[in-house]
Structure 1
Amino acid sequence: MNRLLFEKRGDAVYLSHLDLMRVFQRAFKRADILIWHSQGFSPRAYVSIALPLPVGMESRCEILDFEIEDGAVELPALAGRLNAVLPAGIRVLSAYESARKVKELTRLQAEVTLEYDGGIPEGAQQALGAFFTRESIVITKHSKKGDKEVDIKPLLHSLEMTARNQNELRLVCVLSAQNPGLNPQLLVSAIETYLPERKPDFARICRMEVLDDGNTPFR
């Protein structure tokens, strides 16, 4: 399997998963890289992105699997050719072969930055730290199938919090990635639900790393 590691930042965070798929399909074509297509009446390019990223979230560690026609391009040269035609905010970090299956990607590390316009409320860091040590944190998860009560604590493997400056708290957490996964945005939702007086004015989220069960980077 051929695999790309790429980042999605800046204005590119507003691209949906389907838009991102189209961006890469066009980029392969513009870079004259022949992607393997399925057979049949309506051939489709074999391009697959693991763990679709929620709109508005940055990432430094997105994974894309693809297959190219024999002799289409050498992998070491592929990153440069794609980066020359990809839009701002999307950059290929490396291209390589991998035998690892996406189901081995079980955890992810995320950075959640809580921004307070008037400064971090007094005692907020201590209150939030104590909150995330609870044995259970049940919130309402909204989806197309309706609302559902979910305990997110078993899906939160670790969390460290520091004050980046007088206006920002930085949470670095390791979360379950799939089956089931935990969207880092739900950590912010939990704060808004249980500690409304400590809720941030704005939150930024960045997926920092994808991991396996041993907390080793998945590649």
Structure 2
Amino acid sequence: MGGSAMLRMLFEKGGTAVWMSHLDTMRLMQRAFRRAGVVLHHSQGFTPHAYVSMILPLSVGVSSQCEIMEYALDTELTITPEEMNAVLPQGVRILSVYESDRKGKELSLLKAEVTLEYDHELPQARLVQELFEKDELLVEKRTKRGIEETDIKPMIYSCRVESGHGSLSLECVVAAQNPSLNPMLLAAAVEKYLPQCKPDHVTVRRLEVFDAKGNVFR
């Protein structure tokens, strides 16, 4: 990449922007750089592409306050969160811009809030808490070999269940990479093992990302 600088942006994604796919989010960010007058570094060859990547791509429908985008510039010029936010749509907001020499593969753990919403009677939080204290939780999970019944318990490092107004909140820390666990599967476990606690609606929000030692990853 020559003398180009590798940088990262921390951003949040919410509102209607949660329905934006990973590919559309990438296109949005590249367009925002152009509108802000910043030139991204591109690869060489017949089909050059911009050096922009997401450290941990976000599933459609999930909100986040800790998304990390890595990018490279061809110049020494930098860009501020304010300059990017001025050209980004509602629901996507840059929180900080920084340099980092940490490799993306060091990101190991993900903290998320899974909210189980109920239109009628609210189940006891104790029942759901006890579920996640079991030694084994088998649910259908997408793997490289297709959909397989998988024990997700080893991928759940912690899970605290609390009652709210018409909802149960599951604050969990799960494996983020190699292997990875989609926090939505915690709701699938509730539906399978506690059908009487099946929620009417489920939302997921990423709260933070960590390395294997539990330190915040940036």
Taking structure 2 as the reference length, what is the TM-score of the superposition?
Answer: 0.94
State how far apart, in whole Å, the 1-side matches of 2:145 and 2:179 are: 15
Question: 2:105 is aligned with what amino acid?
Answer: K
Deviations 1:172-201 (A, max 9, x none): 000000001000000001111111111111
Q: Which residue of 2 is the match for residue 67 of structure 1?
A: 72
Cα distance in structure 1, aligned partners of 2:176 and 2:146: 21
Residue type of the alignment partner of 1:85? V
For 1:83, the equivalent position in structure 2 comes to 85
- What's the CA shift for 1:78? 2.2
Number of matched pairs? 213
SS in 2 for 1:60: strand
The answer on 1:120 being equivalent to 2:122 is: yes
| 1:66 partner amino acid | Y
5+ residue gaps, structure 1: none
1:47 equivalenced with 2:52 (yes/no):
yes
Summarize the alignment of residues 196-207 of structure 1 with structure 2, pairs less than 5 Å apart. Answer: 196-207=195-206
Tell me the residue number matched to 1:16.
Answer: 21
Q: 2:63 maps to what in 1?
A: 58
Output one character per residue of 1:137-156: Cα deviation in whole Å (capped at 9) or x when no partner: 01112468532111100000
2-structure distance, mates of 1:194, 1:202: 17
Partner letter of residue 132 of structure 1? F
Q: What amino acid is the match of 1:131?
A: L
SS of residue paired to 2:82:
helix
- Deviation for aligned residue 1:49: 0.5
Aligned-partner Cα distance in 1 for 2:171–2:100: 28
1:104 aligns with 2:109: no
Q: Hey, what's the Cα distance between the residues in 2 that align with 1:147 and 1:98?
A: 36
Q: TM-score, with normalisation over the residues of structure 1?
A: 0.94
Matches within 5 A, 1:99-178: 99-121=101-123, 124-142=124-142, 145-165=145-165, 167-178=166-177
State the Cα distance separating 1:88 from its structure 2 match: 0.8
Change (3 A) 1:142 1:105: closer
Distance 2:147 2:102 in 1: 35
Query: Alpha-carbon deviations, 1:82-129, whole Å to 9, x = none?
Result: 1100111000000000010111100010001111111313xx311111
SS of residue matched to 1:67: strand
Percent of pairs with identical residues:
49
Q: Structure 2 regions of 5+ residues with no counterpart?
A: 1-5
Answer yes or no: is 1:182 the counterpart of 2:181.
Answer: yes
What are the Cα deviations for residues 47-87 of structure 1, in whole angstroms up to 9, with x where unaligned?
0001111100000000000001122x23xx42111110011
2:3 corresponds in structure 1 to: none
Contact 1:119/1:168 (CA < 8 Å) preserved in 2? no
Alignment RMSD (CA, Å): 1.2
SS in 2 for 1:94: strand
The amino acid of 1:18's aligned partner reads L
